[in-house]
Structure 1
């Protein structure tokens, strides 16, 4: 273990053992829920960095970078290299390769009561088995449709190396709910078999070449977006009653009560506002194209580290959605003297009553959901809002880059 005496701040840095081929550390440290990264180069087996750069932080931990710049401990069974310049510290857009050469345990989750999804699950599972991989399915799917495949359980969920979804965005949300513990998650490849599909960029009809490409990630790394999740604690009289993780949003609304809900909102323990509205949406960038968008919230690219607070039908015309850092702790409280209880739901599921004097505390999870992309950076998302949402649809001809060969339609227009 290298010495940490060069750091004059306690607790001391807990460094991992230096293995041959590793050139540097990523040191992540936490202060007032703000997470940042710092490179500490290794010289003669000792980490070296500026004392002042760490002097104002309380704790920090290390993860190794290999000689190609890939870091472990972020995605289960994989290593990632960030596409963004390091000094920006966004840590959302990345390249992904496998840690052990290729995945071995593949979890397949399908759209329920959909025969086409069942047929594709059969084909993909057999294709994986023929290549020596183990397909896992949910217990109900195992019992009712595919008893020949291994059932997912609490004993084997930690061994999953790759997830495949067959459905729409709702199937991806369901998959995310299966991993409730805040630990590194396996990468997710989503095949589109739903209606809209912001989170499903891949065509299931081409699953064979696409999966071949995924399995060969060590030769040609995959594009990946590390999507923010939120951890939501329901508290009553200061005691935690339940914990949920969401990929899209948590919604606190008036439920069956005919009048507006009245909610006190705090950000990082600072009073922000009192909401008088049908409800409040706390959304991730992934959820910005869902319920939040319908309520007037901004569209946020998935690589932007933030959280969106969007009111639902507020009584005040000046109450507009706001965006706060994803590292912020958001507390929504229902006062003891409120006229009614409220309802709270998580990604459209697990709806429950929030009694008077209760609160929900929402914070970003430490481990995001790694989504494999078909295109680099946020290109899948831009294509989604323009092609699927028809965002700012124009009657003008779509421009192409200068020097691009003319399209057949251009010559027809000129005739």
Structure 2
């Protein structure tokens, strides 16, 4: 190719045209770094523009890239290479391209909810239930039926059932000793190590059992078939009386509809407090000074004692002030949209408004390690706990400050969780195929603080500000409850590991049926016609 190969290289708002000898990925990356040495650390993510306006990442190990780019070169006469990050490139997108992408996304989501899915071959089935006598008997009945009718399947049940008299493990083996290898018992620790081996999960119970099943899988969640045996069954669509034909259809690979439920990834970031060390140093210094003064003169005057107390208060105020400053500085570093910098591109000559362009940088929280991180199906709750006073929380969306909330707490729920805690505090109902997040304040101090629905692609942060009078408490699907001190925050983003449940009919029919039968939604005595009294 030689000099005929022309590349347009773009880094942020700087572009240049160069000639290269070949189109090998290593050649392109090396030339890009040569032209823009400032992007050497960290190593840039490069993409090339295809004919449909899509930016495709250049991978160093892509053996077919050179041939593909040759075809692009023959068609367009030039190849556009752009730097970017994991979310995409920095160059503005054409309006026409954006609208085409929107149409594709809408068609994709519409087809996704209507797609009939055939599950891959199933070898390992996990049965999750509570250690209740009645449920134990049903688990035994289901396990024996699976072992008898599907010889290639291994069944995993809770280790606690092995010793229960109602499960009668030894009698099951007497029935068929070969089942010993196919009937396995799991503990939570064993499951964490081998959770990827499970191909299908069966939940026997209520909605809480389904939540527990999804919580067990903090990464990939296998398809879940949920049988209604609890007090509420909004997530449990199937009647256990008909488990035989239901499981037969599933295990024989019959087509079915799936409900892909978005989960939230919630990460807790703890503030590294310096107040304790400063205050401890102040206290130690105060004690040393007092001891030295006492040994020198046994009769301390009241004025000297008062002066010493004032100095201690002053030192304590300095320590607390430094802590508040450090918290505020930490928040400012995390509050811009991905650490975005604003660069002037021009001025609107009529109104004098400055045009800005955001240049994304790595998120600060991505370079730090959270203390805890959980995948949540229903909601994350931040409340005042045992504190008598009102809670103060700051809410940020995509790094931008939205509001300061004075309330008893805040519930951030998925569409699945919209019919749970969020609904009980006045939140809206959201169809499960909507990747949305609902933010519902708990007993807010302002009457205008109403629930709000936002896109599930947004990045949320809930933090306890330095000026808060009390600490907060956070829980994730009702688990892992922990205290949030001043400066602590919870980062909430859409998880890349959704929970997949098998539909009885389809998403909409199952959901509206649940609203009617479980929640008695809009249930009332029908109005009589006007002529009914005649």
TM range (shorter): 0.7 to 0.9
CA distance in 2, matches of 1:17, 1:214: 40
Is 1:169–2:203 an aligned residue pair?
A: no
CA distance in 1, matches of 2:63, 2:508: 35
CA distance in 2, matches of 1:55, 1:370: 36
Q: What root-mean-square deviation, in Å, do the aligned CA atoms of Structure 1 and Structure 2 show? A: 3.4
For structure 1, which segment, 365-374 or 86-95, has the greater mean C-alpha deviation from structure 2 after superposition? 86-95
Max Rg structure: 2
1:72-102: CA deviation from partner (whole Å, max 9, x where unpaired): xxxxxxxxxxxx9634478456432122xx3
- Seen in structure 2, the aligned counterparts of structure 1 residues 338 and 6 have a Cα distance that, compared at 3 Å, is closer
Q: How far apart are 1:251 and its partner, in Å?
A: 0.2
Is 1:106–2:125 an aligned residue pair?
A: yes
CA distance in 1, matches of 2:108, 2:208: 35
Match of 1:363 among 482, 485, 493: 493
Q: How far apart are 1:301 and its partner, in Å?
A: 0.8
Q: Is the Cα contact below 8 Å between 1:233 and 1:244 reproduced in 2? A: yes
Is 1:120–2:138 an aligned residue pair?
A: yes
Is 1:372–2:393 an aligned residue pair?
A: no
Specify the alignment match of 1:406 in structure 2.
none
Is 1:320–2:467 an aligned residue pair?
A: no
- What is the SS of the residue equivalent to 1:173? helix
Match of 1:338 among 437, 449, 468: 468
Q: Is the Cα contact below 8 Å between 2:390 and 2:408 reproduced in 1? A: yes
CA distance in 2, matches of 1:285, 1:278: 22
Greater fraction of residues in strand: 1
Q: How far apart are 1:57 and its partner, in Å?
A: 7.1
Match of 1:11 among 49, 53, 57: 57
Q: Is the Cα contact below 8 Å between 2:48 and 2:57 reproduced in 1? A: no
Q: Which runs of 5+ in 1 are unaligned?
A: 19-41, 62-83, 398-415
CA distance in 1, matches of 2:456, 2:60: 26
Match of 2:479 among 344, 349, 359: 349
Q: Is the Cα contact below 8 Å between 1:92 and 1:227 reproduced in 2? A: no
Q: How far apart are 1:247 and its partner, in Å?
A: 0.6
Is 1:150–2:184 an aligned residue pair?
A: yes
Specify the alignment match of 2:343 in structure 1.
none
Q: How far apart are 1:382 and its partner, in Å?
A: 0.5
Specify the alignment match of 2:372 in structure 1.
242
Is 1:185–2:242 an aligned residue pair?
A: no
Is 1:86–2:107 an aligned residue pair?
A: yes
- Seen in structure 2, the aligned counterparts of structure 1 residues 93 and 319 have a Cα distance that, compared at 3 Å, is farther
CA distance in 2, matches of 1:58, 1:120: 51
Q: How far apart are 1:215 and its partner, in Å?
A: 1.2
- What is the SS of the residue equivalent to 1:392? coil
1:25-79: CA deviation from partner (whole Å, max 9, x where unpaired): xxxxxxxxxxxxxxxxx9xx99xxx999x98974589xxxxxxxxxxxxxxxxxx
Q: How far apart are 1:139 and its partner, in Å?
A: 3.5
Match of 2:157 among 112, 120, 137: 137
Alignment of 1:252-401 (within 5 A): 252-396=382-526
Match of 1:228 among 257, 262, 272: 262
**How many residue pairs are counted as aligned between the two chains?**
341
Query: Under a length normalisation based on structure 2, what TM-score does the superposition of the two structures give?
Result: 0.58
Greater fraction of residues in helix: 2
1:86-138: CA deviation from partner (whole Å, max 9, x where unpaired): 34478456432122xx311000000x242221111101111111212111123
- What is the SS of the residue equivalent to 2:57? coil
Query: Under a length normalisation based on structure 1, what TM-score does the superposition of the two structures give?
Result: 0.74
Q: Is the Cα contact below 8 Å between 2:49 and 2:56 reproduced in 1? A: no
Q: Is the Cα contact below 8 Å between 2:48 and 2:56 reproduced in 1? A: no
CA distance in 2, matches of 1:277, 1:341: 13
Q: How far apart are 1:179 and its partner, in Å?
A: 0.7
